[in-house]
Amino acid sequence: MQEWNDVYFVSSNRHKYLEAKEILSSFGIKLGFFQVSLLEIQSDSLLEIAKAKALDAFAKCKKPIIIEDDALVIPSLGGFPGPYSSYVFDTIGNKGVVDLVKENRAAKFYATISYCDKTTKSVLFEGITLGKIAKKISGKGWGYDPIFIPRGKTKTYAQIPDKNTVSHRYRALAKFASWFVRTQK
């Protein structure tokens, strides 16, 4: 049986790893961290990006891995920034996104977890959280956390203490954890 501590989160983003580690620990899964920059293909498909990243991550780590790719989708902006969320954050940031969104502030946050090991090309798990874009930046979180308000909440991810139980990342990781624990028996 494979040891659970042999699963590595491969990313250049330590914030994502720390959240994933906390979430997966609640399922009894120990998660290591392999910090490296990964191949970032250009695609309109979050699933295709996640598959490519997972294969690159496994090639670099040589151990069972998971990667995460996410997308903030704003329907009133035609789905922008979507799979280009990281680039948009790096270029216009939260203020730029808040300034772009006018009346219809509805948004969706997607997370795709991709698992890869020596016997598996890639297994994908998706989580979605519906919500809206805040009218102003609120809180000290990282990434889009200070501007995304999940449905049913009045505060941003950056302001709520239970983010790791309602987030898109949690939903995707919970699906992965259920599958992983079941397949490791």
- Residues taking part in catalysis: 69
Contact 111, 157 (CB under 8 A): no
Token pair for residue 24?
């997966």
Token pair for residue 182?
């079941």
The residues, any chain, with a CB within 8 Å of residue 154's CB and separated by 6 or more, are none
Tokens 């990667």, residue located: 67
Token pair for residue 136?
């102003």
Q: What is the helix (H) or strand (E) element at residue 163, kind and residue range?
A: helix 163-166
The residues, any chain, with a CB within 8 Å of residue 96's CB and separated by 6 or more, are 88
